[in-house]
Amino acid sequence: MSVEHRRPTFKGRSEPFERFTSGDVSGDVESGPHAPPSSSETSSDDDDEDGSGDRDDDDDPAFFVVGFKVCLDENDHWMNRLATWGTGRAVFDDRIEFSGQISHAEILVRDDDDHHARGSGEWIRYSILKRKGVVGRDAVTGKRTIRWMPASVHGISTSLNAVNNYRFYKINTTRGNARRARVFLENERTKESGFNFWGYLLNFVLPVKIGTNHVRDAKTRGKNKWFCTELVVCAMQAAMIDATLPLRACAISPNDLHAFIEKTGVGRHVLSTTFLS
């Protein structure tokens, strides 16, 4: 689904993506240069850890989708608007549509592993839900109540009506690697991983980053905390997308990831109607 193009009201400069890869990706804070292995260097033992195993169709072509919400008006969540304002200027490039206007990211994976025939299975949107209050009424007194819902990783069946103002990128991979991403995301959802509030608030201001640097770190913990692109980048690393393996997940904002995909060609822009019904 396309959205109206509006240029941002600020100007900035593009920055090299080396700033997302500097530092030790094996821990939570920067301590020295280190690059994770490429997919060709990864041991087959990882197949057992991520739950994918060896299947006859592991090498068949497949894809998943990364979606970016375009922040167009004041109705967007105030934290999304703050993130857009705080991170958009550093990567603004007037050659890229909606550059600097991205407020949120999600990853969409088919739930039945069938990436060949459109409409053969549901697409599940994974990202992080921020803590929010749900307004209701007390059944006895009739007074208004607020029930606070904890922040958590969500996996929501989606349709065309649910993705207004999103821009989508198709990420080509194999069925085996798409399964790895799905297994990782489902594990984070069922573990009830929470929201990385301090990383979300401070990582794009301070040189030290708070959160998960690489998917390998996430797999060693009982529970993790995420902001949206931190989770999406780790899912792409779980899917062995080579270009994402050196990235520090907690150092990347929605605007950063959007610019990265556009400039590296990791994904191709597609309309939602090409994969959603």
> Within a domain: residue 6?
no
> DSSP letter string over 177-207?
HHHHHHHHHHHHHHTT-EE-HHHHHHTTTSS
Q: Is the dihedral of CA 8, 128, 226, 106 positive or negative?
A: negative
Tokens 């931190």, located at residue:
230
What amino acid is encoded at 217 in this protein? Answer: D
Mutual angle of helices 254-264 and 228-238, in 10-degree steps: 40
Classified as helix, coil or strand, 169 is: strand
> Within a domain: residue 113?
yes
Classified as helix, coil or strand, 261 is: helix
**Count of structural domains within the chain:** 1
> Within a domain: residue 215?
yes
> Within a domain: residue 13?
no
> Within a domain: residue 10?
no
> Within a domain: residue 246?
yes
- For residues 187 and 252, what is the distance between their CA atoms, to the nearest angstrom? 22
> Within a domain: residue 11?
no
Contact 264, 243 (CB under 8 A): yes
Question: Is 1 buried (19+), middle (13-18) or exposed (0-12) by CB count in 10 A?
Answer: middle
Structure tokens at 72: 């167009």
Contact 108, 65 (CB under 8 A): yes
> Within a domain: residue 112?
yes
Global pTM value: 0.75
Exposure string (b/e) for 135-147, b if CB count within 10 Å is 16 or more?
eeeeeeeeeeeee
The pLDDT tens digits along the chain (277 residues) read 444 333 333 333 334 444 455 444 333 333 333 344 444 444 444 555 565 566 777 888 999 999 999 886 667 777 777 778 778 777 888 788 888 889 889 999 987 654 444 444 688 999 987 655 455 677 777 777 665 455 678 888 877 666 778 899 999 999 999 999 999 999 999 887 889 989 988 888 888 899 999 999 999 888 899 999 999 999 999 999 999 999 999 999 999 999 999 999 999 999 888 887 6
> What residues make up the domain containing 150?
22-274
